Amino acid sequence: MLVSIYRYNPEKDTAPYMQDYEITIPGNRDVMILDVLALVKEQDSTLAYRRSCREGVCGSDGMNINGKNGLACITPISEATKGKMDKLVLRPLPGMPVIRDLVIDMTMFYQQYEKVKPYLENNTPAPAIERLQTPEERAKLDGLYECILCACCSTSCPSFWWNPDKFVGPAGLLQAYRFLADSRDTMTQERLAGLSDPFSVFRCRGIMNCVNVCPKGLNPTRAIGHIRNMLLTQQV
């Protein structure tokens, strides 16, 4: 199988380039892209990519696979090459600075994540044991808390490409809503005030690239819609 991979080592290369590798998959099995990368790595040990859990939990190996962002460890070859030639094109997640090969600098992504204060804030006295929720209140967090911060969604969003320093991006906004929807959080007004500017939330144009690529099947566009409704209800 032909695998074309984005290569860039800033210490040696003046510009990025695509390098082709011919690999043989043992038993012709439908392996994951991460396994393909391991086979390439056997041929060329200079190739750099991130990986850790190899089962779609840590979010380390997000990359652009045949034009679509996804996790290498849970994307089988059959899915990546669907409807195309028997060729695999792997690039780093788009719109972010490349450190080397498939490894990107995620500083801006984490800065936006930090901006939404992704932790519970409650200014009432702490109860003796824990802050309880009804099953209904807890159910509101389903589809929000599962995000693994792989950055597949934010790096597929044109609004995030244009303004990564101002637009929070789908991943950050999903987390923002996760705490806005939490019955135990008491800082709703302050959180909304921090999101009412023209960039943080309202740069979302609802094109749903984020929904299309999320490897966990989450829906950041819906969460952004909920935030927008909360802002409108509060300020109009």
Q: Which residue ranges make up the site for other proteins (CB under 8 A)?
A: 159, 162-163, 166, 193-203, 228, 231-232, 235-236
How far, in Å, CA of 33 to CA of 8, rounded? 20
The least distance separating other proteins from the CB of residue 64, rounded to whole angstroms, comes to 21
Which of 17, 199 has the CB closer to other proteins?
A: 199
Q: Residue 193 in 3-state DSSP?
A: helix
The least distance separating other proteins from the CB of residue 166, rounded to whole angstroms, comes to 5
The least distance separating other proteins from the CB of residue 202, rounded to whole angstroms, comes to 3
The least distance separating other proteins from the CB of residue 193, rounded to whole angstroms, comes to 7
Kindly state the DSSP code that residue 154 receives in the 8-state scheme. G
What the block records as the tokens of 206 is 């609802």
Residue count of the chain, please give it.
Answer: 236
- Closest by alpha carbon to 140, among 183, 170, 188? 183
Which of 54, 115 has the CB closer to other proteins?
A: 115
Which of 42, 190 has the CB closer to other proteins?
A: 190
Query: Angle at the Cα of 67 (from 205 to 178), degrees rounded to 5?
Result: 45
